[in-house]
Structure 1
Amino acid sequence: MPERVALIGDIVESRRTGDRQALHDTIGAVLGRVNRAQPVVDPAVITLGDEFQGVYATLGDALTAAFHIRAALQPHDVRFGLGRGAIQVLDPARGIHDGPAYWAARDAIEEAAQLADKAALRTTRTVFRSEADSPAQVTAVNAALLTLDQVLGALSPVSWRILASRLEGLTQKDIAEREGITPSAVSQRVRGDGIGVAMEAMRMLGELP
């Protein structure tokens, strides 16, 4: 059983969404786009309700997928749990997996929800757990994720759209035309709202083994 990184995600407060079918369809479409664009071992798919799961070769690949999924699904916010460990395929035909990576990811997403219940940590959306990595490494990754979540949690809807567009590879000129604002206004938001910092943090985290 090779060690992989399992990713579990779900929509925050999805029960408040009026059109559940539309949300389900949106999640499926976003997962499809990200699966095609990002390295993945087992493509992320909806497993139950608004929850989805995927498997990645590295933590960086899993985090990059999570960042793209979260940005693309705005204004619906997403919570993620990531876990590294062995993965066992129980039913190849139906894609049913199990193992320490999934157990760690499940614990992680539950921890993310618990942390977000605390006022000071309400922006927490992403947690990583692993017994395959040293405790110091896991702590360092989670410290970075906690800080990144704080930056992302402060973004306005316009800034979220700009971030999502930048992750798609659009230029500031393209984004300005899409948003109906000037390229200078886009640049000011990238600098002033922390979009540039968030993207650099995502890039660095995306290089983790």
Structure 2
Amino acid sequence: MVLGFASLVFGLWLNFQGNSRDMFNVNDDDKKSIDSDVFHIVVYILVILGSVMVALGIFGEHSACNYNKIALLVYCVFLFLLAVTAITVGALAYTSKDTVGKKFGELYSDVYKLYGKNKDETVAATLKYVHGLLHCCGLAGVQLTEMVKKTCPKADDVTKHVNPAPTCQQSIESFIDQCAPLVTAVFVGTGALLITQVVCAALYSSKIHRDSEAPQ
């Protein structure tokens, strides 16, 4: 329940957080809006998975407190399906890391070009954060403007890591590739925790059944 509530709150925060929504809703001359498919997929997964986990947690708690073995068995089935879903999402996060990396690279490219057109402070803050986190700056084949340079880390900080400095698209793809095992471990770990809960609930249901059949 706690994990589900944390996932739900974080997903809702991402969805309704002003800066992120404003950034994705700003119009561009070449397209209606910045491609935010990856962002929305992440939000949907967090919200849906969190909501289901909270609902199942409440249902399981109610079933256990009322010593309802049938409800506990139903709880076990749905919890097992949720565990399989979490493990599957983790596996997909790893196997799709190249595609996800390219999508985020394209998203950075859109944000970068957008900032050059509207000079929005929210977009500038996003670029500055990405540049500082990944120690990169700019797009391949695109000359940095003085305005964009203000969002870049210091030259010494960039060259300290690699020379010549990589483009941010390359750095993002590399970062996603490195983070994929961690993301997979989080989802697989959550799945393992849920399976442990399935076992505990099944054992408790079995105990209730034995107690109900025991002579008084």
The TM-score range, normalised by the shorter chain, is under 0.3
Query: Please, what TM-score do these two structures have when normalized by structure 1?
Result: 0.25
Q: Which has the higher strand share?
A: 1
Structure possessing the higher relative contact order (Cα contacts under 8 Å, 6 or more residues apart): 2
Q: Which has the higher helix share?
A: 2
